[in-house]
């Protein structure tokens, strides 16, 4: 399983290929929230989300002969784009299995990063069967979105950067609110911070009604969401915590937090106005909790994990919440 | 007048107080433009524009006794906010003279940075007379928006960063397209690049119909704009080039370029989609030229000089140009 040595090795492989993203703040955001908030802007990462780190980490860690045959991912979103660009930069094939009703722009972007996109019909075809046949036929390696030690190590490189950036600001004790779907980002950051900045504690944030991780941390066992649709935070609606990520977060993180879709939209509008960042709803959920939760300390760090948002959703944030 | 030694001294004073902004790119933006474009994201600077650098540079260079009496600026926009925050951080008073019909949000933001905002009626009061009385009565020092050697030196620190960032990417020859109003940003960057990266040449970009700098560079004398309203690029609509900036740009920069308001809106939409940056129209004008001008080389650097934009204008960019 992932440890800080693996995370540091991932950081060495990512160096010069992924961006070191800035930790941003704004006095007028602090005034709106009533506390100091520092935002790790992974929306500025290549492909517009932290997922590029995990994709690059996994692909760069493969043995060259296996890697040369190519990789596969299931995703209609940020993981697809992260894996596609990381594969293209390694000069290897990437096959991305996407539902045929995925947004055209996401299909087009994934293709633009050089991936072969294979569409399947969610109603009539089984994704896992299709994927298993493809990996067998072509010798592809599946890159899972979160339950993979090297993917977690890649996301953990954010934690190494955060430890340095927080220390430079003199911050030694603070909660680190992380946008949480399967828990890869949260677990990676928690492992890095345990080793490099033990006063910084991960608190995963999920959309209200999709808080499988928060409930799992509370109950001590893996809890499921009743549904995986019905929130605009599409990037982080997973059915249940990862088998690898939950034990890490049980040991090192919590309790979980939630924020509503409308709070995420308000966080997007405040990030637009005060940080001049474009965030997607799932990428703004930690900032939403940092702004709206009453019971947090004076200084909070949060991840802004992605910025791939349709104009229609962004307009909704501005319409409701921008002055 | 400003030289690279002054710019380096400004950089030393700014260190730890202003952000070193990233030089960003995106493969899908390059694909849309048909060339490689690197974007210096000053929209991520404190107060949302490069103006904080000039304000900090000027205030930090003052003798302490004069500084303690406070500073004044005329501005309804980015310069106001940059000077206000720099003054607040120095613990000195700032008085900002703003027209009473300035947007409420800009007045509120300038006040939130601790400045005393004095409103005047554009129809019945003379700004310069009012300003002269205030500086005399209170011993305030006027910080000009561009025609001040230390302000130009502050903006020039962007050129020092660009020289390093371009070298790290292996870029030794390229045009550097700069958003141009009075020319402080363009002149500062040109002076820094002449000394540190002479293969990088500044080309100022202005809104079509407001190209006083381009025409001045072509004719060899200061040309005026017929008007200073009528473009959405409000941050860079100045009547004529600065007395200090024009000679620098005559010697080191050009020819000038223009882009239309609609091209600026398209650049904002592309920055939203591919860079996840919020840009204001005047801050996107150089990117607009980088995207739309046919006669530019394969690799272009441009400044994204600010991101303080009303939601209504941002919506217009998305409505017209986002997929």
What are the tens digits of pLDDT across the range A60-98? 999 999 999 999 999 878 999 999 999 999 999 999 999
Structural domain containing residue B84: 52-142
Does position A58 have pLDDT exceeding 90, yes or no? yes
Count of residues making up chain B: 323
> Comparing C-alpha atoms, which of B83, B78, B89 is closest to residue B116?
B83
Letter string b/e over residues A126-157, b meaning 16 or more CB atoms within 10 A of that residue's CB: eeeeebeebbeeeebbbbbbbbbbbbbbbbbb
CB B54 within 8 A of CB B184: yes
In this structure, the answer to whether residues A239 and A172 fall within a common structural domain is: yes
Which of the listed residues B117, B142, B167 is the one where a domain comes to its end? B142
In this structure, the answer to whether residues A268 and A163 fall within a common structural domain is: yes
Cα Dmax for chain B: 57
In this structure, the answer to whether residues B123 and B269 fall within a common structural domain is: no
Does position B103 have pLDDT exceeding 80, yes or no? no
In this structure, the answer to whether residues B122 and B270 fall within a common structural domain is: no
With left for phi above 0 and alpha for psi between -120 and 50, is residue B299 left, alpha or beta? beta
In this structure, the answer to whether residues B309 and B196 fall within a common structural domain is: yes
In this structure, the answer to whether residues B201 and B303 fall within a common structural domain is: yes
Which of the listed residues A107, A142, A177 is the one where a domain comes to its end? A142
Contact B318 A315 (CB under 8 A): yes
The arithmetic mean of pLDDT across residues A17-22, rounded, is 98
pLDDT tens, residue by residue, B261-317:
999 999 999 999 999 999 999 999 999 999 999 899 999 999 999 999 999 999 999
In this structure, the answer to whether residues A66 and A101 fall within a common structural domain is: yes
**pLDDT at residue A170, as a whole number:** 97
> Comparing C-alpha atoms, which of B62, B39, B63, B42 is closest to residue B51?
B42
In this structure, the answer to whether residues B260 and B250 fall within a common structural domain is: yes
How are beta strands B174-179 and B299-304 bridged, if at all?
Answer: parallel
Does position A106 have pLDDT exceeding 90, yes or no? no
Label residue A103 by pLDDT band (50, 70, 90). confident
Q: Which residues of A touch B19 (CB under 8 A)?
A: 22
Distance from CA of B24 to the nearest CA of A (A): 8
- Mean confidence (pLDDT) of chain B: 95
- Residue B16's domain is classified under what CATH number? 3.40.50.1100
> Comparing C-alpha atoms, which of A112, A5, A102 is closest to residue A61?
A5
Label residue B255 by pLDDT band (50, 70, 90). very high
Q: Which residue of B has its CA nearest to A318?
A: B311
pLDDT tens, residue by residue, B18-67:
999 999 999 999 999 999 999 999 999 999 999 999 999 999 999 999 99
Q: Domain total for chain A?
A: 2
Query: What are the two backbone dihedrals, phi and then psi, of residue B39, each rounded to the nearest 5 degrees?
Result: -115, 120
Does position B323 have pLDDT exceeding 80, yes or no? no
The arithmetic mean of pLDDT across residues B110-121, rounded, is 94
Contact A318 B314 (CB under 8 A): yes
**pLDDT at residue B215, as a whole number:** 98
**pLDDT at residue A185, as a whole number:** 98
In this structure, the answer to whether residues A167 and A291 fall within a common structural domain is: yes
Of B43, B307, B315, the CB nearest to A315: B315
In this structure, the answer to whether residues A16 and A77 fall within a common structural domain is: no
In this structure, the answer to whether residues A95 and A240 fall within a common structural domain is: no
Distance from CA of A273 to the nearest CA of B (A): 7
B298 SS3 class: coil
Label residue A104 by pLDDT band (50, 70, 90). confident
The whole-angstrom separation of Cα B266 and Cα A25 is: 28
In this structure, the answer to whether residues A86 and A42 fall within a common structural domain is: no
The arithmetic mean of pLDDT across residues B164-177, rounded, is 98
Q: Which residues of B touch A46 (CB under 8 A)?
A: 26
Q: How crowded is residue A311: how many other Cβ atoms within 10 Å of its Cβ?
A: 18
Does position A108 have pLDDT exceeding 90, yes or no? no
Tokens of B74: 């005329």
Q: What angle in degrees, to the nearest 10, is found between the helix axes of B104-112 and B78-90? A: 10
pLDDT tens, residue by residue, A187-218:
999 999 999 999 999 999 999 999 999 999 99
The arithmetic mean of pLDDT across residues B93-120, rounded, is 90
The whole-angstrom separation of Cα A75 and Cα A110 is: 10
Label residue A323 by pLDDT band (50, 70, 90). low
Q: Which residues of B touch A (CB under 8 A)?
A: 19, 22, 24, 26-28, 31, 43-44, 46, 48, 85, 105, 109, 112-113, 269, 272, 275-279, 307-308, 311, 314-315, 318-319, 322-323
| B226 burial type by CB count under 10 A (0-12 exposed, 13-18 middle, 19+ buried) | exposed
Which of the listed residues A93, A114, A142 is the one where a domain comes to its end? A142
The arithmetic mean of pLDDT across residues A155-180, rounded, is 98
Of A31, A269, A323, the CB nearest to B105: A323
How are beta strands A23-24 and A36-41 bridged, if at all?
Answer: antiparallel
**pLDDT at residue B234, as a whole number:** 85
DSSP type of residue A38: E
- Mean confidence (pLDDT) of chain A: 95
């Amino acid at each position: 399983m992932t440890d800080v040595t693996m995370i540091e090795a991932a950081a060495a492989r990512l160096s010069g290929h992924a961006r070191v993203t800035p930790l941003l703040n704004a006095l007028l955001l602090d005034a709106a929230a009533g506390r100091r908030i520092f935002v790790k802007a992974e929306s500025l990462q290549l492909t517009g989300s932290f997922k590029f780190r995990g994709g690059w980490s996994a692909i760069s860690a493969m043995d060259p002969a296996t890697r040369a045959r190519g990789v596969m991912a299931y995703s209609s979103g940020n993981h697809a784009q992260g894996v596609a660009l990381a594969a293209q930069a390694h000069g290897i094939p990437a096959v991305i299995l996407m539902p045929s009703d995925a947004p055209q722009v996401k299909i087009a972007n994934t293709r633009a990063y050089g991936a072969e996109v294979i569409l399947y019909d969610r109603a009539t075809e089984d994704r896992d069967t299709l994927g298993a046949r493809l990996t067998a036929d072509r010798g592809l390696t599946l890159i899972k979105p979160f339950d993979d030690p090297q993917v977690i190590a890649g996301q953990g490189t954010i934690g190494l950067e955060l430890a340095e950036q927080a220390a430079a600001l003199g911050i030694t004790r603070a909660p680190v609110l992380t946008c949480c779907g399967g828990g890869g980002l949260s677990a990676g950051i928690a492992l890095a911070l345990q080793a490099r900045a033990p006063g910084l504690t991960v608190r995963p944030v999920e959309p209200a009604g999709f808080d499988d991780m928060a409930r799992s941390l509370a109950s001590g066992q893996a809890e499921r969401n009743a549904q995986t649709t019905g929130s605009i935070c599409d990037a982080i609606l997973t059915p249940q915590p990862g088998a690898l990520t939950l034990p890490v977060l049980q040991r090192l993180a919590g309790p979980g937090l939630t924020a509503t879709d409308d709070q995420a939209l308000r966080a997007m509008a405040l990030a637009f106005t005060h940080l001049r960042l474009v965030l997607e709803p799932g990428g703004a959920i930690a900032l939403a909790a940092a702004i709206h939760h009453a019971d947090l300390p004076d200084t909070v760090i949060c991840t802004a994990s992605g910025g791939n948002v349709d104009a229609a959703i962004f307009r909704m944030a501005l319409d409701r919440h921008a002055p």
